[in-house]
Amino acid sequence: MSCPVVTLDPLVRDRAAEIRRLTGITPLARITLPGDVTVWTVTKHAEARKLLTDARLVKDIDAWGLWQDGTVTRQWPLIGMVDAGRSMFTVDGAEHRRLRAKTAQAITARRVESLRPVIESITAALLDDLATAGAGGGPVDLKAVFALPLPMRVVSTLMGVDHAEHPRLHQLYTAFFSMLTPQDERLAVIDELDEIFVKTVAEKKAAPGDDLTSALILADEGGEPLTDEEVLGNLKAMVAAGHETTISLITHAVRALLGHPDQLAAVLSGEVSWENVIEETLRWATPASHLLLRFATEDIRVGDTVIAKGEGLAISYGAIGWDTDQHGPSADRFDIRRPAPIRHISFGHGPHICPGASLSRLEARIALPALFSRFPGLTLAVDDSELRNMPIVTQNDLVGLPVLLG
């Protein structure tokens, strides 16, 4: 059977149009990624859940035919998304459980509550920064001043990463994700990120602290402690995942509420909960547009198509969040009055489900009400149609969010 191929725009000039095209090709579509690499993707909620628990799909890049035959190399612009070193993000099965256990335990819903005071004080400090930036009455970039520093400070506190590194880390991650970065520069960025985190691991080995990196180093894990490479991989995964996606969540929640004043009024009056705002934002503006990549270790039949052994599969969470079979005919509209619980899978599903889900929810749950209570007159400084995505195919990340504090 032939299957239409959607070429993803490296510049993400029209995210909504791209998602609408993908929701029309079900349950599997073909997508061509930047660098002319074509893979399968799943666009339906129900089939994604099945595939995400299918042990015949693995994350080890060595299972990828295009990698084995040399078609994909380190020169591929998205290589850093699939060849990120050994960590809980890249292994499966029993080894995955071993690599992930300690992290998952440290950030359960109950345990992240201990970070509440940290998140509250970071939020308060950033609200002051916002007030300072907007003191003249002109537009302020809410993403740059508020949504972006907050998750980095939180995840760095959790992991024990030196706060002095934050400005450089933001520059490096922007270059890492952007499709406009020349590949030699991206490879240098990946090396520099490694250097920063190798240093963190060495420091924590020499002087363990009250942070998760130290806990990973000291963990016994049933007589098989994590190797330095595994600690490093987990640390990189936590910092990357723990800041980039939560920036997106906070930015898009503010954007959507400011673009729908009736809904903002409903949440401020208490008619709708902040929890529903957060879940609806995760569904409608899912932070991970396309999650790369799983590989078939044998032929996998899905309806009347077959993912052949060695082929790659992405998970198109953007399209999955807009699946009308799951969320009804208005799935492409932001509506916080949808009945709870909003059953999205924007945190994934199965063994790799986001271990940081509770932490990101708590960050948004603290940051959003604090923002709107400090600045009740907050408005967008530009028309919503002028907001642009970053040139990042895998993440749903805005260039900026200009607001007036009112």
Chain residues that interact with ligand STR, rule: CB under 6 A: 80-81, 84, 89, 236-237, 240-241, 244-245, 288, 291, 395
Report which residue type is found at 76: W
Nearer of residues 237 and 277 to ligand STR, judged by Cβ: 237
Q: Is 45 within 8 Å of 405 (Cβ atoms)?
A: no
Closest distance to ligand STR from the beta carbon of 82 (Å) = 7
Q: What is the chain's Cα-based Rg?
A: 21
Closest distance to ligand STR from the beta carbon of 299 (Å) = 26
Closest distance to ligand STR from the beta carbon of 297 (Å) = 21
Rounded Cα–Cα distance for residues 291 and 266 (Å):
33
Nearer of residues 288 and 367 to ligand STR, judged by Cβ: 288
Nearer of residues 245 and 276 to ligand STR, judged by Cβ: 245
Nearer of residues 263 and 316 to ligand STR, judged by Cβ: 316
What residues contact residue 107 under an 8 Å CB cut-off, 6+ apart?
158, 212, 355, 356, 358, 359
Nearer of residues 80 and 400 to ligand STR, judged by Cβ: 80
CA 354 to each of CA 201, 346, 357, 366: distance values in angstroms, whole numbers, following the listed order: 23, 9, 6, 20
Nearer of residues 22 and 81 to ligand STR, judged by Cβ: 81
User: Token pair of 129, please?
Assistant: 């920064």
What's CA 91's distance to the chain center, in Å? 18
Report the Cα–Cα distance between both ends of the chain, in Å, rounded: 56
Closest distance to ligand STR from the beta carbon of 130 (Å) = 26
Instruction: Give the H or E element holding residue 379.
Output: strand 379-380
Nearer of residues 146 and 176 to ligand STR, judged by Cβ: 176
Closest distance to ligand STR from the beta carbon of 345 (Å) = 12
User: Token pair of 386, please?
Assistant: 């002028």
Nearer of residues 367 and 393 to ligand STR, judged by Cβ: 393
Closest distance to ligand STR from the beta carbon of 70 (Å) = 22
Given the structure tokens 């948004």, which residue do they identify?
364
User: Token pair of 264, please?
Assistant: 């903002």
Q: What is the 3-state secondary structure (H, E, C) of 307-335?
A: ECCCCEEEECHHHHHCCHHHHCCCCCCCC
Rounded Cα–Cα distance for residues 175 and 169 (Å):
10
Closest distance to ligand STR from the beta carbon of 189 (Å) = 10
Q: Is 111 within 8 Å of 105 (Cβ atoms)?
A: yes
Closest distance to ligand STR from the beta carbon of 191 (Å) = 11
